Chain A
Amino acid sequence: MIDDQHWGFILAAYALSICVFGGLLSWIVADYRLQNKALAGLEAAGAKRRSDGDLE
């Protein structure tokens, strides 16, 4: 399919794109797990907020 002399540039561009999307997705998933774990730990320790609907 790619018989051009510049195929290396094309492959590098798409390989980098996969790395960037993969990195972004992994970071978001890892952060989600980390925050859920921290929240569960605090709730298990009995910490409660006056209102659940507010951020602060």
Chain B
Amino acid sequence: MKTKTLPYKTIMYVILALLTALTLMPLLWMLSASIKTDSEVFSLVFHWFPKNPQIKNYTKIWEKIPLARFVFNSVKLTVIITAIQVLTSSFAAYGFSKCKFKGRDMLFLLYVATIAIPWQVYMLPQYSMMNKLHLVDSHLGYILMQSFTAFGVFLMRQFFMSLPNELLEAGRIDGLSEYGNYFQIALPLAKPSIATLTIFSFVTIWNDYMGPMIYFNTTENKTIQLGIKMFIAQYSAEYGLVMAASVLSLIPVLIIFLAGQKFFVQGVASSGIKG
């Protein structure tokens, strides 16, 4: 392709900068409001940066609601569910791609079929089953419900399918069992896919609203997303505080996202190509 001229590049940068600014505007607005007093938030004269930044909005919110509890719950659930998901689904994906046995593909089809079924369709029977097992309003119930999704198995299988069988054959000749092959050959090579699944699972569970809303009634059990919603309901007029709490809830995701954005891009891209 021919090289682009300087004016062309400048125009492109201007267009991109404008689009990016437009996309980030709501989030920047949230950041700006989070260090304002309430009257400044509602003021018709708008400043991106207030004269008197209210940094103490960020300390006040910890006193108003049990935010530390909510953060702890969210971290706990996210870590446990992500760990179970990565372990069991990479294990299963290996079975679905590298072990040959009767009925394997039928079984996998069952998994894939559930990806297309909206959660709303089986949310209620799932809930009443959990209710029978006395697992509603408990972290265990939520963990069990979220840990075994088809998506993880699907994503990991995509990767193992591309892993050459010769590598595993060589392992077998060297006397490795199938489990040895999985732990010593397949798993180390799957690191990028595992990173992708970890990030996706982390973001999904951290941001999940409907699941915790249905399952958790007790305040001690609630997650950060429910906590912020609760905060909004109680202090709806105090927008500065509401925004500070919202910004706070975005920080862990932002960190994970910036640290692992390469894996994000890979994950999205590979899900798209294979369709």
Chains A and B are bound partners = no
Residues of A within 8 A of B (CB): none
Residues of B within 8 A of A (CB): none
